[in-house]
Amino acid sequence: MKPEYQRVAYYPGCALEGTGHAYNQSTRAVGKALGLKLDEVKNWNCCGAMEVKNKDPKVQTYLSSRVMSIAANEMGAKVVMAPCNGCYHNLKKAEYDLAHDAASREVVDRISQKAGHATYTAGQVETIHALDWIKDGIGEDELKRRVKNALSGLKVANYYGCMYTRPRHIFPEKDRGAGSESTSKPHFMDDLLAAAGAENVDFPLKTACCGGAHVLSDSDTSTKLVLNILRAAEAAGADVIATECPTCHSGLEMHQVRAEKVLGQKTRVKMLYFTQLLGIALGLSPRSVSVHENVSDALGALKEKGLA
Amino acid sequence: MSALAEIEARLESIPAPADSREAARSLLSDAEAVLEHWITARGETPTADTREGFRLLALHRQGTRGEPSFNACRETCREIAYHYNLVHAQPASADATHASRMMAMLVRHLALFVSGKLQVAGLGEFCCSSRPLRIESA
């Protein structure tokens, strides 16, 4: 248990105000139910996502550093929590760049001065994912104690996507032995959902590429990659795929529809954010964790198992 | 070496194998062929070395050199090796049949990823590999 995770600066990022709205709602609802406090980063900006990073990695480093600078220097926060894998990854990458690359520090300092805010210095805050926040802020034992509607009988394939663990060097806290997260076989989501009563299936594609970044330039490859992930989850016996990233989640849902339309391949597995599943287990209503916003019939899957 | 499209097509429908060990060997060979395509397309000769007992893992390491985005299929390769070992540990069990089915899906994923990367080199480059600064300044 880490007391510093009880109250964190919350960086939702752009996706959670759009396609990932249900993730935002369910993260806030679960935090409230567990007594974990979120202070949204004031006047936050885009983390630099993929587009800026592809054009100029140092500008992405600056954009992410501004978010951390506001949290550290204007809010006095020690921990920033980002539920989106893209944001989480970019803030960690910026942290790494600023700690190891003098040219990045120079660019960030120059733009920060021009923008009129304090320059972020590596180490001022710790960036964590929503999985770390609940896993280390509450822990499985306490979570188990608070479960009112155990996810019994629900078979879950946990899909972490690529940016939660790669590249390894920007996540120095992972692969540290017992209790730490693994970059090759991540398990934090498995641990939390098991504590909520779900049955995790052995799913070998939990960090496999979904082709998400090329959804427009090469849609067919993305659809085939996602279809393979969905089929593998079904072959593993899963009723639902739990996600922890808005890009992964919408990619899986959209390509499931596209696979049926374009390739004639129907899959029945449903997608839910892990925070939605935790919310249900904590006794929250499906509406309060925005299950009705999911594209796949997640509510139907929950009803079928007597969970909604 | 089978063409990537042939491998993809073969993996589209995998019947329950009569001999799981033989099926696993064939799938491992397909996975190696997929990586050979990637390495050959980069103008290199695929290594015959092994890493942790698998040529597949040595090929993956070779394919990643100078191309960090290729790490996006590292765990897929490791899972293929793991499932190969699962099949060989208990070849006659029902678990072996399941493991061989999952292995087929893993090899298919690898084939799709590599064929995608051969068409659009940037696949995976500006997401998980993070396009390291050293490439920009090289």
pLDDT value of position B19: 85
Condensed to tens digits (0 to 9), the pLDDT of residues A83-94 reads 999 999 999 999
pLDDT, mean of residues A207-216: 77
Tell me what percent of the residues of chain B surpass a pLDDT of 90. 56
Our measurement of the distance from residue A136's CA atom to the centroid of its chain's CA atoms, rounded to an integer in Å, reads 15
B129:A89 CB<8 A: no
Q: How far is CA B26 from CA A232, B11, B20, B84, B133, in A?
A: 19, 11, 10, 10, 39
pLDDT, mean of residues A282-287: 98
User: Greatest CA span in chain B, whole angstroms?
Assistant: 54
Residue ranges of chain A assigned to CATH 1.20.1050.140: 3-129
A261 token code pair: 């339309």
Q: Residue A164's closest chain B neighbor by CA?
A: B128
Residue B34 burial (CB < 10 Å; 0-12/13-18/19+)? Answer: buried
Residues 70-99 of B with CB under 8 A from A: 71-76, 78-79, 82-83, 98
pLDDT category of residue A49 using cuts at 50, 70 and 90: confident
SS3 content of chain B, % helix, strand, coil (to 5): 70, 0, 30
Q: Over 90: is that where the pLDDT of B118 sits? A: no
pLDDT, mean of residues A121-128: 98
Token pair 């490791």 is at which residue? B78
Q: Over 70: is that where the pLDDT of A123 sits? A: yes
pLDDT, mean of residues A147-152: 98
Residue B21 DSSP class: H
The topology under which CATH files domain A141-304 is Rossmann fold (3.40.50)
Residue B16 burial (CB < 10 Å; 0-12/13-18/19+)? Answer: exposed
Write out chain B residues lying below 8 Å of A221, CB-based. Answer: 112, 115-116, 119-120, 123
A246 token code pair: 């808005």
Write out chain A residues lying below 8 Å of B85, CB-based. Answer: none
Q: Over 80: is that where the pLDDT of B135 sits? A: no
Residue ranges of chain A assigned to CATH 3.40.50.11810: 141-304
pLDDT value of position B107: 96
Number of Cβ within 10 Å of residue B29's Cβ equals 16
A59 near B CB under 8 A? no
Residues 6 or more apart whose Cβ sits within 8 Å of residue A58: A97, A103, A104, A107, A108, B133
DSSP 3-state of A157: strand
Number of Cβ within 10 Å of residue A231's Cβ equals 17
Q: Residue B69's closest chain A neighbor by CA?
A: A167
Q: Over 90: is that where the pLDDT of A280 sits? A: yes
Closest CA relative to residue A183, chosen from B134, B128, B52: B128
Residue A155 burial (CB < 10 Å; 0-12/13-18/19+)? Answer: middle
pLDDT value of position B128: 57
B16 near A CB under 8 A? no
Q: What is chain A's alpha carbon radius of gyration, rounded to the nearest angstrom?
A: 19
Of A185-199, A226-240, B51-65, B91-105, which range is least confident?
B91-105
Residues, chain A: 308
Tell me what percent of the residues of chain A surpass a pLDDT of 70. 98
* Structure ipTM: 0.89
A50 near B CB under 8 A? yes
Q: Over 80: is that where the pLDDT of A216 sits? A: no
pLDDT category of residue B81 using cuts at 50, 70 and 90: very high
CA distance B36 to A62: 39
pLDDT value of position A55: 76
Residues 6 or more apart whose Cβ sits within 8 Å of residue A182: A165, A174, A175
Condensed to tens digits (0 to 9), the pLDDT of residues A58-70 reads 999 999 999 999 9
pLDDT, mean of residues B35-59: 96
Condensed to tens digits (0 to 9), the pLDDT of residues B24-45 reads 999 999 999 999 999 999 999 9
Of A160-164, A171-175, B9-13, B53-57, which range is least confident?
B9-13
Q: Which domain holds residue B35?
A: 18-137
B127 near A CB under 8 A? yes
pLDDT value of position B137: 40
CA distance A159 to A131: 13
Q: B127 near A162, Cβ under 8 Å?
A: yes
CA distance A96 to B126: 17
Choose, out of B4, B34, B117, B127, the residue to mutate when testing the contact with A (most A CBs < 10 Å).
B127
Q: Over 90: is that where the pLDDT of B53 sits? A: yes
A206 token code pair: 């939990």
A147 token code pair: 């479960």
Q: Over 80: is that where the pLDDT of A9 sits? A: yes
Q: Is the peptide bond before A167 cis (omega within 30 degrees of 0)?
A: yes
B105:A89 CB<8 A: no
What are phi and psi for residue A43, nearest 5 degrees? 50, 45
Structural domain contains residue B53:
yes
Average model confidence (pLDDT) for chain A? 95
Write the CATH number of the domain with boundaries A3-129: 1.20.1050.140
CA distance B72 to A185: 14
pLDDT value of position B136: 43
Q: A273 near A23, Cβ under 8 Å?
A: yes
A265 near B CB under 8 A? no
Distance from CA of A6 to the nearest CA of B (A): 29
Condensed to tens digits (0 to 9), the pLDDT of residues A31-46 reads 999 999 999 999 999 9
pLDDT value of position A70: 98
pLDDT value of position A132: 98
Look at chain B and report how many structural domains it folds into: 1
pLDDT value of position A101: 96
A214:B122 CB<8 A: yes
pLDDT category of residue B129 using cuts at 50, 70 and 90: very low
Condensed to tens digits (0 to 9), the pLDDT of residues A172-185 reads 999 999 999 999 99
Q: Residue B132's closest chain A neighbor by CA?
A: A57
